């Protein structure tokens, strides 16, 4: 399989993204949960220290409710105004670090930054909870009888 055209496409889209961010900076602003900005430079760990740990996932699930995540992402993270977090698909990337950073620093389009409220370990447990959710057996096709 020749991967060169794919790599080219990624480069082009990255260039477009950079241009857009520069020309419309306010559209990258974040909401801070509780009005508290996350401290800089701490959300950079790359691996989830609790990956696969059921106990941590249970704690993460409680945090998911207590921090009102379910108010936007729905009970069981099935999706509401915020996207589904249990479909195995990730708008901002699904690696350990991607999910952590989305929670810690927030995302434009209304995902609040929780890094000012929650210690990194608590966020990693939420990441653990989300990673252990069983994706539904959905396939790209939906059909009816």
For 72-102, b/e burial (b = at least 16 CB within 10 A) is ebbeebeeeebbbbbeeeeeeeeebbebbbb
**C-beta closer to other proteins: residue 51 or 90:** 90
Rounded distance between C-alpha atoms, residue 89 and residue 40, angstroms: 28
Closer Cβ to other proteins, 110 or 121, answer by number:
110
CB of 105 to other proteins, least distance (A): 13
Binding-site string for other proteins from residue 38 to residue 57, where x marks contact by CB under 8 A and - marks none: --------------------
Q: Which is nearer to other proteins, 50 or 126 (CB)?
A: 126
CA 3, CA 114: separation in Å to the nearest integer?
38
Alpha-carbon distance 37 to 145, whole Å? 51
DSSP structural state of residue 59: H
Closest approach, Cβ 88 to other proteins, in A, equals: 8
Query: For residues 83-122, which are near other proteins according to CB under 8 A?
Result: 83-84, 87, 89-91, 108-112, 117
What's the DSSP call for residue 38? P
Element (H, E) at 105: helix 96-105
Window contacting other proteins (CB under 8 A); options: 10-18, 46-54, 66-74, 96-104: 66-74
5 forms part of the interface with other proteins (CB under 8 A): no
Residues in the site for other proteins, rule: CB under 8 A? Answer: 26-27, 29-35, 65-72, 75, 78-84, 87, 89-91, 108-112, 117, 136, 138, 142, 144
């Amino acid at each position: 399989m020749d991967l060169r055209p794919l790599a080219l496409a990624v480069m082009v889209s990255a260039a477009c993204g950079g241009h857009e961010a520069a020309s419309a900076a306010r559209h990258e602003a974040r909401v801070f949960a509780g009005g508290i900005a996350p401290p800089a430079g701490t959300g950079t760990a790359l691996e989830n220290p609790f990956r696969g740990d059921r106990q941590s996932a249970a704690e993460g699930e409680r945090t998911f409710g207590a921090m009102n995540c379910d108010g936007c992402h729905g009970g069981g993270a099935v999706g509401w105004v915020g996207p589904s977090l249990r479909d195995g698909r990730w708008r901002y990337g699904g690696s350990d670090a991607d999910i952590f950073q989305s929670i810690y620093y927030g995302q434009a389009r209304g995902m609040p930054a929780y890094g000012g409220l929650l210690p990194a370990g608590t966020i990693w447990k939420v990441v653990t909870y989300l990673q252990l959710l069983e994706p539904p057996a959905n396939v790209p096709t939906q059909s009816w009888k």
